[in-house]
Amino acid sequence: MNNFSDKPHRRSLRLSHYDYSQSAAYFVTICIKNSENLLGDIQDNVMNLNQFGQVVKDIWHSLDTRYKEVILDEFVIMPNHIHGIIFIDNPLEIIHELSLPEERRKMLLPKVVGYFKMNSAKLINQLQSTQGQSVWQKNYYEHIIRDEVSLTKIREYIVNNPLKWHQDIENQQVKPSQEEVQFWQSFGRKDL
């Protein structure tokens, strides 16, 4: 399986002219570097977090305290990735028509994801005595949720993700099911 964020000379997966600080809902997927099963394991269709998974859970649940404009919705930690829905309300700043990477970083969604990745990686590295090592893949996947039908579909996917680990696209031990591939293709993922 191709990992969409570990390719050399990757282009940004962000839309260059989309304002990621505007009010919207986002489906976010963030993967562990090299798809390592770092965050725990699934037994009997239940995700069992280890200490690293607990760090990730704690940092994620702190995001709406740090960023008042963020409302957290469904969220799941899997062995080698996370999925979550983030609502952004009353944006910090409105930035239109920006295409430079340094300008896009000023937008709220990349700030939130960057904070999450940096702080969870820092704590995981402290626990592993591996300061400065990459924990997460360099990029992340996000999808702008455009309607209630998509929101419901994504919520169901997140809630049921541990039950479907045996056919998950991020599970390196199995071939993903056709249903799984179709789910991701319906959101424009082309690396399958």
Which one has a higher pLDDT value, 170 or 104?
170
pLDDT score at 20: 55
pLDDT digits (tens, 9 = 90+) for 73-124: 999 999 999 999 999 986 444 444 444 544 444 578 999 999 999 999 999 9
d(CA 75, CA 10) in angstroms, rounded, equals: 27
pLDDT score at 96: 45
Side-chain-side CA neighbours of residue 170 (13 Å): 26
- What H or E segment, with its residue span, contains residue 135? none
d(CA 46, CA 117) in angstroms, rounded, equals: 24
Q: Hey, which residues does 32 pair with through a beta bridge? A: 136
Q: Are 69 and 59 in contact (CB under 8 A)?
A: no
* Confidence check: pLDDT of 17 > 90: no
d(CA 110, CA 117) in angstroms, rounded, equals: 10
The type of residue at 35 is S
Domain ranges of the chain: 24-183
d(CA 8, CA 132) in angstroms, rounded, equals: 20
Tokens of 69: 């404009």
Q: Hey, which residues does 123 pair with through a beta bridge? A: none
pLDDT score at 189: 83
d(CA 174, CA 155) in angstroms, rounded, equals: 23
User: Would you give the distance in Å from CA 113 to the centre of its chain?
Assistant: 8
- Phi, then psi, of 182 in degrees rounded to 5: -65, -40
Tokens of 192: 């399958």
Please give the share of the chain, as a percent, with pLDDT higher than 70.
80
- Map residue 98 onto helix, strand or coil: coil
Selection from 20-24, 32-36, 141-145, 146-150 with the highest mean pLDDT = 32-36
- What H or E segment, with its residue span, contains residue 183? helix 178-185
CATH number of 24-183: 3.30.70.1290
